[in-house]
Amino acid sequence: MSPEEARDDVIAWSVERARVRLAAAERELEAGVPHLAADHAYYACFHLLSAIFLQDGLTLKRHSALRSALHERLIQTGRLDRRWGSIFDRLAELRTKSVYAALFALDAATGRTVVDDATRLVAELQRMLPPT
């Protein structure tokens, strides 16, 4: 397998992981666990951003590096509208709280908004990738 084929396989895997994570976010909302829905919503976007950067020849190993690259390489260059950066930043903050903050709770309405925002961001990011 060539390096390009291997990269394309990882990109396809990332797209699939994003789909699975977004579906899991919806299930968690239905189950009444919005903080887990927010976590899945974040990772759906995370996987697609990772795929976009991989397509561009960049591999990022830290969440903070991915967030910085989003702003520096996609937002500031005009490849992606600023509003998507704000949405991703909110997702990242909620993911951190849902994983690390004791007694963190997210209400159902906010969970719904977060998942809806992530769904729109996922659709926008998928347009930046070749069809799989």
Average pLDDT, the chain: 94
Is 8 part of any domain?
A: yes
- Contacts for 25 with CB less than 8 Å, ≥ 6 apart: 37, 38, 40, 41, 44, 115, 118
Is 90 part of any domain?
A: yes
Question: Is the pLDDT at 132 greater than 70, yes or no?
Answer: no
Is 131 part of any domain?
A: no
Is 72 part of any domain?
A: yes
Is 110 part of any domain?
A: yes
Q: How many domains does the chain have?
A: 1
Is 45 part of any domain?
A: yes
- The tokens for 19 are 């789909």
| pLDDT tens track for 46-102 | 999 999 999 999 999 899 999 999 999 999 999 999 999 999 999 999 999 988 888
Q: Report the percent of the chain where pLDDT is more than 90.
A: 86
Query: Which CATH number do you get for residue 14?
Result: 1.20.120.330
Per the structure, the complete domain to which residue 20 belongs is given by 3-126
Its pTM surpasses 0.75: yes
The pLDDT of residue 101 is 86
CA angle in degrees (0–180, nearest 5) for 79-66-61: 140
The pLDDT of residue 102 is 82
